[in-house]
Amino acid sequence: MPIPGLRRSPPGSPPPTLSEFSGALRGYLDEAEVAEVLRAYTFGESAHAGQRRSSGEPFIHHPLAVAHILAALRLDAPTLTAAILHDVMEDTATARDRIVEKFGEDVARLVDGVSKIDRIETDTREAAEAENLRKMLLAMSRDLRVILIKLADRLHNMRTLDSLPPKKRLRIARQTQEIYAPIANRLGLHSWSRELEDLSFRHTYANRHRTLARALRRRQGNRRTAMKKIGDALEKQLADGGIAARVSGREKNIYSIYRKMQSKRIHFRDVRDIYGFRVIVETVDHCYRALGAMHALYKPIPHCFKDYIAIPKVNGYQSLHTTVFSAFGETIEVQIRTEEMHRVAETGIASHWLYKTPGARADGADGPHGLARQWLMDLLETQQTSVNPGEFLEHLRVDLFPDEVYVFTPRGDIKKLPAGATALDFAYAVHSDVGNRCIGARIGNVPAPLHTALKSGNQVEAVTARGARPSPAWLNFVVTGKARAAIRGALKNKRRKDSVKLGKKLLDNAVRTLRKSRPRIRSEQKSALLKTLRLAEWNDLLADIGLGNRMPMMVAHQLLGGGGEGEGGGAPQSIAVTGTEGVLVTYARCCRPLPGDEINGVLTAGKGMVVHTADCPNLGELSKRADKLVPIHWDDKVSGQFAAALRLDTENRPGVLASLAAVIADEDSNINDVSVAERDGRHSTICFTLEVRHRHNLSRILSRLREQSGVVAVRRVKG
């Protein structure tokens, strides 16, 4: 029976030899797979040739040790191959392509994944929130094998941490404590997480660790004989009952003793259950029989019995726990479980690869398999119910957090966003002002459009400009509520301003139409009208007019007391359109008016004013409502780009479209849309939507297009 305390592998233990490693491989891989892994070793050895670790040993010892750690979990050949190669991309000139060529895409992807995590590690500010960084690493990995390699890498680095300078040691130990030990724990790799915790504790609180270790050794020394006797008694009792069992002593790791002392504010001598026994039997039935044998031997402490076999923990953990009074005045916790339960308890997610060994049940529909799978499913928070569970476990190539992405700010902080979030969502997550003034983004220092969907691990920067404004089109590609609300708010604000401005113009115009001499409107007149209309302020009225909800002429009549006709009743005044009116003046898609065209304005409730060409066929119907029609003309100085549609009949010949596009570009016009409407053997009809500044621009473009060879006819399309 192993004696408590001797199970822990001492830090800095010598690396495995190549023959030990290949021996471990032959224990569960077939010859071809073993050969493949060893080929990676030869490759890695020459790639790392001449490199040494800070301990002075050849570098290849490290990846070999990492692969050996993973072989103990019986991970598949690609994982071990990638483990051996895990540092070649970062530390040597070996490019990804060479790994693909030599070992295939699967291995290259794993190596790539580990290298990416290494880069994230160096990019992250130390103050970055640990929980988010953990999730970012998991979300980035996609393939859990990447995380397993990274954890084994960290485990070996922690075992050999002594050779690093103190400052670096401390940083790595802290990071292990905050990031990697919890990840191992979450994945159910309890033996790894315990060791990572202990090793980190040893480096971050060296003195406390030393004191506790000494105290523990002393207590152990006192208990050693007693423990041996108890262990022997347990073994005998089980053998007498005809139960085949492995009994082993175990002790709490130093870090969990420390944590218990901290949380319960107790002294070391008052910490209970430091020693315990684990009994591993063949069947579930034997678990309960072993329990009976235990209780026959030593008196159980009431209320300390837990049946995690009948009611497993959420992570699939199963065991019977009981605490008994031993003959030597020490209370002892005993855990009883089957071999299979033991694997799940120690290696969590990795135990799924263990199940792939020959003779293991493939279906795993019930028992610990089913539970562990359920746990994994919960862990992955996956909504992909269509995924066949068998396949799912085969590949484990899934999003761990399908609903979230984790990205860096330029300062190295981490922001969590919902899946599908774009660079613009990021900008709004930083601050609504940043979002509102955003004009572009940089992702990993490369310019990117605002609608770019972000990936976990991206470093994102929002590019802003003074005076920039949100556009309604942004609502099409933001996914966060915060961004949506901020954009809506800003647009509403802008709409209000625009509608007040347009309303003022329309009302002034109506007043001028009624009275040739422009009357000064007194504030009593204004407030009387506001009272009649039940409006709070003058701007509300103007906004209402601008939005097209109130007819300007009618308001003017009400304002002037209806006595207007007598004085003038002149022809309606025309309003100048400048192109800068904002969202309340829009251009009809049916006729696409251009500066230079004769135009008419139509007030539409809630939408403001729509500009049509004077000859638009749709106006016939609309103009019956004279109160809605506003006489308008283009201002001398119109700004902006206006959409124009045109239609070309061309002969089919190579390069026609390209030469047409070149002409349009040469005239400084953008093509918004192009489609080929008809096509027979010899002719095509091509429709363009262009942006032009003025009717003259369009005329020039039309005549130049007409001159192109192959063009049969060109015309502007209205309606």
- Alpha-helical (H) ranges within 6-95 are 18-26, 31-47, 61-72, 77-84, 88-91
C-alpha distance from residue 286 to each of 276, 291, 371 (Å):
19, 8, 20
How big is the site for Mn ion, counted in residues (CB under 5 A)? Answer: 2
Q: Give start and end residues of each alpha helix (H) in 187-337.
A: 190-204, 206-240, 254-264, 284-297
Q: Which of 6, 198, 311 is nearest to 190 (CA)?
A: 198
For residue 56, the minimal CB distance to Mn ion (Å) is: 17
CB of 157 to Mn ion, least distance (A): 6
Determine, following the binding rule CB under 5 A, whether residue 82 of this chain makes contact with Mn ion. no
529 with 537: CB under 8 angstroms?
A: no
Cα angle at 448 between 444 and 454, to 5 degrees?
65
Residue 310, CB-side half-sphere exposure with 13 Å CA sphere: 6
Spatial contact of 440 and 463, defined as CB atoms under 8 Å apart: yes
For Mn ion, which stretch binds (CB under 5 A), given 85-93, 337-345, 391-399, 471-479?
85-93
Query: Which of these ranges, 87-95, 268-276, 526-534, 697-705, lies near Mn ion under the rule CB under 5 A?
Result: 87-95
Using alpha carbons only, how large is the chain's radius of gyration in Å? 38
Residues in 233-292 at the binding interface with Mn ion, rule: CB under 5 A: none
Nearer to Mn ion, 106 or 153 (CB): 153
Residue 88 or 430 with smaller CB distance to Mn ion: 88
Q: What CA–CA distance (Å, rounded) separates 235 from 279?
A: 9
Sign of CA dihedral 650, 652, 656, 658: positive
Give the nearer residue to Mn ion in terms of CB position, either 109 or 156. Answer: 156
Quote the least distance from Cβ 82 to Mn ion, whole Å. 12
Q: Which of 343, 322, 318, 317 is CA-nearest to residue 332?
A: 322
What string of H, E and C letters represents the secondary structure of 375-422?
HHHHHHCCCCCCCCHHHHHHHCECCCCCCEEEEECCCCCEEEEECCCE
The piece of 150-158, 222-230, 473-481, 493-501 that touches Mn ion (CB under 5 A) is 150-158
- Give the whole-angstrom CA distance, residue 39 versus residue 645: 65
Distances from the Cα of 533 to the Cαs of 26, 526, 527, 547, 608, in angstroms? 91, 11, 10, 16, 20
Least separation in angstroms between CB 62 and Mn ion: 6
* Beta-bridge mates of residue 676: 686
| Nearest-approach distance from CB 10 to Mn ion, in angstroms | 21
**Cβ-proximal residue to Mn ion, closest one:** 153
Please identify which of the residues 20, 90, 101, 627 carries the catalytic annotation: 90
Q: Binding to Mn ion (CB under 5 A): which residues in 502-541?
A: none
Among the listed ranges 38-46, 82-90, 276-284, 319-327, the one in contact with Mn ion (CB under 5 A) is 82-90
Q: Which residue number, 53 or 455, has a Cβ lying nearer to Mn ion?
A: 53
Reading the block at residue 74, the tokens are 């019986």
CB of 63 closer than 8 Å to CB of 86: yes
Judged by CB under 5 A, the stretch of 89-97, 152-160, 235-243, 489-497 that binds Mn ion is 152-160
| CB-count exposure of residue 574 (10 Å: 0-12, 13-18, 19+) | middle
Instruction: Report in angstroms how near the CB of residue 456 gets to Mn ion at its nearest.
Output: 22
Dihedral pair phi/psi, residue 224, rounded to 5°: -55, -50
HEC sequence for 641-667: CEEEEEEEEEECCCCHHHHHHHHHHHC
Q: Tell me, yes or no, if 498 is annotated catalytic.
A: no
Q: Mapping DSSP to helix (H, G, I), strand (E, B) and coil, where does residue 579 land?
A: coil
Q: Least Å distance between CB 122 and Mn ion?
A: 13
Cβ proximity to Mn ion: between 91 and 330 the closer is: 91
48 scored as a contact of Mn ion (CB under 5 A) = no
Query: Is position 153 an interface residue for Mn ion (rule: CB under 5 A)?
Result: yes
* CA–CA distance, 368 with 383 (Å, rounded to integer): 22
Nearer to Mn ion, 59 or 406 (CB): 59
Q: Which is nearer to Mn ion, 153 or 251 (CB)?
A: 153
Minimum separation from the CB atom of position 140 to Mn ion (A) = 17
Catalytic one among 33, 45, 76, 91? 91
Q: Which stretch binds Mn ion (CB under 5 A): 149-157, 246-254, 435-443, 515-523?
A: 149-157
Report yes or no: 464 and 128 within 8 Å, Cβ to Cβ. no
- Does the protein bind Mn ion through residue 87 (CB under 5 A)? yes
154 binds Mn ion (CB under 5 A): no
* Short-list 274, 379, 272, CA closest to 316: 379
Q: Please, what sign has the CA dihedral across residues 519, 521, 524, 530? A: positive
Binding of Mn ion by 425 (CB under 5 A): no
Which residues neighbour 613 within 8 Å (Cβ) at sequence distance 6 or greater? Answer: 588, 591, 592, 593, 597, 598, 599, 600, 718
Based on CB atoms, which residue is closest to Mn ion, 153 or 195?
153
Task: Return the structure tokens found at 99.
Answer: 């790994």
Minimum distance, C-beta of residue 87 to Mn ion, in the bound complex (Å): 5
Least distance (Å) between residue 90 CB and Mn ion: 8
> Which residue lies nearer to Mn ion by CB, 47 or 560?
47
Q: Of 48 and 278, which has the nearer Cβ to Mn ion? A: 48
3-class SS of residue 608: strand
| Piece of the chain touching Mn ion by CB under 5 A; list 79-87, 139-147, 269-277, 284-292 | 79-87
Residue nearer to Mn ion on the CB measure, 150 or 501: 150
Is 90 considered catalytic here? yes
State the minimum distance, in angstroms, from the CB of residue 36 to Mn ion. 20
* Piece of the chain touching Mn ion by CB under 5 A; list 153-161, 273-281, 424-432, 545-553: 153-161
> Cα(8)–Cα(370) distance, rounded to whole angstroms?
31
User: Least distance to Mn ion from the beta carbon of 342, Å?
Assistant: 29
Q: Which is nearer to Mn ion, 140 or 281 (CB)?
A: 140
Catalytic positions: 90-91
User: Which residues of the chain form contacts with Mn ion (CB under 5 A)?
Assistant: 87, 153
